[in-house]
Copies of this chain bind each other. A is one copy, B any other.
Amino acid sequence: METFDDVLEKLAPDSLLRALEPEPLNALLRQSRKRDLKPGETIINQGDEKGAFAVYLLSGGLKISVVSAGGREIILNYCAPGELVGEIALLDSGPRTAAVTAVVDTTVLLLPTQAFLDTVATSTKSMIAVLRELARRVREQNLVIESDRTFSMGPRLARALVRLVDADRDDGRLLFNPSQSDLGAFAGLARENVSRLVSEWESQGVIAREGRALVIRDMEYLELLAEFGDEA
């Protein structure tokens, strides 16, 4: 395996792990394994025994999903490089409640449970960072629940798109080229209706297509819709 300096270099500047002091971070990295994933490969399965490791996403993309009674997939979240996945299972005992799957070619770091917890505990700063991250997720999920309960299809899909725009680029391209089925599973509506909405928005110039991929043209409109619903 390559040196850990390489890995270190790849850590995003705003990464959670960056909150660690160099010394403990190195110790942690020395105990972790790197793993490459092909699209569709899953790294954690729903129902697995409680987690033996946390997953740190170096490059590529992951989706966190559950299959519900009835066999429909629900995509709870997408993850971009620099994010940490699976700590919930570390902290909260019990089996994994969701599956983690690569959506593109992906490289992850597997951090052994105990080493991870020990390391985080060495520094107040890093603990606060993890706390903040969890808090951010709770808030994000509150919004999803609110959105699911009160909004119709349009605003829900709008929210999904806004969550998926690639913040690193100024064009309106989406992360991970999701299919319409994926968008449906993410936004909570049927694939057919994603299709209908996309057509409608395309004709209004809100979004455009490049091949199968979508490009957001009028981000502001979608954000308004996502926040205020159909009354906007």
A150 and B68 contacting across the interface, CB-CB below 8 Å: yes
Residue A188, interface by CB 8 Å: yes
Residues of A within 8 A of B (CB-CB), count? 43
Residue with the highest number of chain B CB atoms closer than 10 Å, among A90, A135, A141, A227: A135
Contact A229 B149 (CB under 8 A): no
Given the interface contacts A131-B131, A131-B134, A141-B138, does A149 sit within 8 Å of B91 by beta carbon?
Answer: no
Task: State whether the Cβ of A174 lies closer than 8 Å to any Cβ in chain B.
Answer: no
In the assembled complex, A4 has its CB within 8 A of some CB on chain B: no
A72 to B149, CA, bound (A): 10
Query: Separation in Å of the A129 CB from the closest CB of chain B?
Result: 10
Chain A stretch 153-203: residues in CB contact (< 8 A) with chain B: 188
- A145 touching B74 by the CB < 8 A rule? yes
CB 8 Å contact bits of A27-65 with B (1 = contact, 0 = none): 000000000000000000000000000000000000000
Q: Assess the B88–A150 pair: CB atoms within 8 A.
A: no
How far does the Cβ of A90 sit from chain B's closest Cβ, in whole Å? Answer: 8
Assuming the contacts A76-B145, A149-B188, asked whether A135 and B88 have C-beta atoms less than 8 A apart, the reply is yes
Say yes or no for A15: interface residue by CB 8 A criterion.
no
Question: Chain B interface: which of A102-110, A120-128, A210-218?
Answer: A120-128
CB-defined contacts of A87 to chain B, threshold 8 Å: 135
